[in-house]
Amino acid sequence: MHIDGFFFNALAAEIHNKIQGSRVEDVYDSQQGIILQFRAPGHTLRMEIAIPPRTFYLTSEGRRARTAGAFSQTLKKHMATLFCTSFTNTPFARRATLALAASPVSSPGYFLHLEAMGRQNDLILCQQERIILSTRPYKPGALRPLQPGDNYSPPEMPAKASPQGLTASTLQLLLANQRNNSCEQALVRSVMGVSPLLAREICFRANAAAARCQDITPQACSLLAQEIASLSAASLRGDCQPVLYSEQGPYWVQLTHLPAPALQFDTLSTALSHWQLQFHESSHFRRQYQRLRKAFDAATRRTQGALQKQQIELHRALDYEHFRQVADTILASLPQIPKGADNITLPNIYTGECLDIALDPTLSPSANASRYYKRYSKYKTAAAKVQKQIAVNESHLDYIQSLDYALECAQTLEDLQEVLAEAEDSGIIRRQRKSAAPPRPGDNYLQYCTDLGTIVLVGRNNRQNERLTLHKADKNHYWFHSRHSPGSHVILCTSNPAESELNYAAGLAAWHSKERASAKVEVVWTQVKNVKKIPRGKPGMVQYTNFQSMLIEPIPH
């Protein structure tokens, strides 16, 4: 997002025209910062200021945060019931001042200074010159003391030329001092309020894109000065064309050196509000995705580690038959075993091979045999238990992989919320909200259509798969799923499908699976009535009968 001095001018003018004369009704925290709520005749206005104050805009949302912060409450204490007399900024400087008075016709006595100047992002409330409140943390020896009780001092203006009234001759001198730099770099360093994005636009309009300062002719310099003058006048008048670019974000005017903007808006505030909401959702999506990815990777490692240990234990336990043969051999050879022996070699009565048998010298031969029988019984029972545990963990690993697949397929925050709810229900992630009920699985299935017009529905995650197959689909319709990997349940909504429709639905099932990168995927299909939920199974885990299968190439979508 590029809120440069030109953008700042237009935004400050837009907000000033809206809130001038209105009364401060409330101040509260939002998800991104604080909200100043103004009451104007017949309507309410809300101005959201990000903390740190990198941006600000009028918004219709104004969603209140769950907890109230000390900063917003102190602002409310001093600002509530005051009237806004003006909201102005120093031209092309990214700092603005909200002036407040006891009545619409009184002289302002309180000032809220908003500074969005890179490293200096501060919000400062003053009564006349004395600072009441500031977001600036205490820094010993700071050049600008901005703590409560200090007198407010504005930041120093950068040593740059003002774009207002900038002549071609003055601009030529500025560029001549930076001969080795590009024209774009020189404009950013020499002209106040010009960002790299705007400098690129000015050079593009003046046919000086990618030109170096030493190559700029007087004619080109004159064109550059004209473009700067035109844009600065439009910025100061508030004459803007609010647009939103997919990568660059919102801007106050349409940029001719970029492709057409993704969206256009009526006001700058609307563009900024839309961008902030989009940015917040994408940031929340990334955080939620990373949290789920980390949890699934950890659960996979834990389950695989447990399986490795259980396989070792099973390998050892499966040798239980050996202990029975040892015990039988001891009982068959009691006269040959001397009392107090700690080791003896005897022929195995079953195979004839020599057995080197360790004995407990404190026990009789028959007691040693009994000891080996106990081991036989113990390991026989353990083998059965370990095999059950291995089956449970293998099923759990398959389930984690199905969640992992659902995570890969998630495209919206709503999709992630459904995966998160399922992970919390299964215990893979600890539930953070105790009282909130998990979201109900949505019916926003993916929908496709065969060449004959038959609808094909595809689940997005395990919970949707279960709801689609077991509750929504007609029992006579056809169900498809990849056989050896996690994937979506696919329902072909017809009871009499053509061969081309079967192939199409199978290709979709292959594509919406973990094996979509394979050349061929085995897909099973049967009627929905033959698909049942596994008793006490996880969501989406089903068993099926009377099925057919085919190897098919995934159909990309």
Percent of the chain residues past pLDDT 70, beyond the cut: 97
**432 in the same domain as 350:** yes
pLDDT at 440: 60
> What CATH number did the domain enclosing 73 receive?
2.30.310.10
CB 230 within 8 A of CB 205: no
**Between residues 140 and 263, the one the model is more confident about:** 263
* Res 436 pLDDT > 70: no
Average pLDDT of the residues of the chain: 88
Q: Could you tell me if 307 and 393 lie in one domain?
A: yes
One domain for residues 254 and 312: no
Identify the pLDDT of residue 435. Answer: 43
Are the CB atoms for 57 and 48 separated by under 8 Å? yes
Per-residue pLDDT, 353: 87
- The per-residue b/e assignment along 171-200, b for 16 or more CB within 10 angstroms, e otherwise, is bbebbeebeebbbbebbbbbbbbbbebbbb
179 shares a domain with 127: no
3-class SS of residue 549: strand
**Strands, sheet with 490-492, edge to edge from the N-terminal-most edge strand:** 446-449, 455-458, 490-492, 478-482, 521-527, 548-552
One-letter-per-residue 3-state SS of 373-407: HHHHHHHHHHHHHHHHHHHHHHHHHHHHHHHHHHH
**Domain annotation covers residue 278:** no
Which pLDDT belongs to residue 45? 93
- Provide the pLDDT for residue 84: 95
Residues 502 and 485 in one domain: yes
Kindly indicate the confidence band of residue 411, based on its pLDDT and cuts at 50, 70 and 90: confident
Helical (H) or strand (E) element with 59: strand 56-59
Residue 279 has pLDDT above 80, yes or no: no
398 & 487 share domain: no
Domain end among 264, 290, 317: 264
For residue 439, the model assigns a pLDDT of 55
Answer yes or no: is 155 within a domain.
no
Least reliable range by pLDDT among 237-241, 376-380, 444-448: 376-380
User: Position 227: which residue type?
Assistant: E
**pLDDT value at position 10?**
94
Q: At what angle do helices 365-409 and 268-317 cross, to 10 degrees?
A: 160
Residue 504 parent element (H or E): helix 499-511
In a domain, 274, yes or no: no
What's the pLDDT tens digit per position in 292-316?
Answer: 999 999 999 999 999 998 888 888 7
Range ranked top by mean pLDDT from 85-89, 133-137, 318-322, 356-360:
85-89
pLDDT for 14 beyond 80: yes
Flag whether pLDDT at 441 surpasses 60.
no
For residue 241, give the amino acid letter: Q
pLDDT value for 215: 86
**Mean pLDDT on 333-349:** 87
What is the signed CA dihedral for 493, 497, 503, 504, rounded to 10 degrees?
-40
Domain count, the chain: 4
User: What number is the average pLDDT over the span 438-453?
Assistant: 79
64, 188: one domain: no
Domain that holds residue 415: 298-439
pLDDT tens for each residue of 358-380: 888 888 888 988 988 888 888 88
Longest dimension (CA), the chain: 121
Same domain, 302 and 356: yes
Closest CA to 481 of 503, 510, 460: 510
CATH of the domain at 387: 1.10.287
pLDDT, tens only, 120-144: 788 999 999 999 999 888 777 777 8
**More reliable by pLDDT, 119 or 411:** 411
Within-domain flag for 90 = yes
- Residue 420 sits in the same domain as residue 546: no
Would you state the structure tokens that stand for residue 152, as one six-digit string? 């407010």
Query: Does residue 57 fall inside a structural domain?
Result: yes
Same domain for 340 and 310: yes
Domain assignment present for 18:
yes
For 274, phi and psi rounded to 5 degrees? Answer: -65, -45
Domain end among 134, 159, 185: 134
Q: Write the single-letter amino acid at 288.
A: Q
| CB burial readout 361-372, b (16+ within 10 A) else e | eeeebeebbebb
Residue ending a domain, among 439, 454, 489, is: 439
Give yes or no for a contact between 526 and 495, defined as CB atoms under 8 angstroms apart: no
Q: Are residues 418 and 457 in the same domain?
A: no
> Across residues 179-205, what is the average pLDDT?
92
pLDDT digit string (tens) for 523-550?
A: 999 999 999 998 888 888 899 999 999 9
Cα gap 391→386, rounded to integer Å? 9
* Any domain includes 150: no
Q: Quote the tokens at residue 360.
A: 């407990």
Q: What is the model's pLDDT at position 503?
A: 94
pLDDT band at residue 191 under the 50/70/90 scheme: very high
Do residue 428 and residue 452 come from a single domain? Answer: no
- For residue 392, the model assigns a pLDDT of 87
| Model pLDDT, residue 437 | 53
Residue 37 belongs to a domain: yes
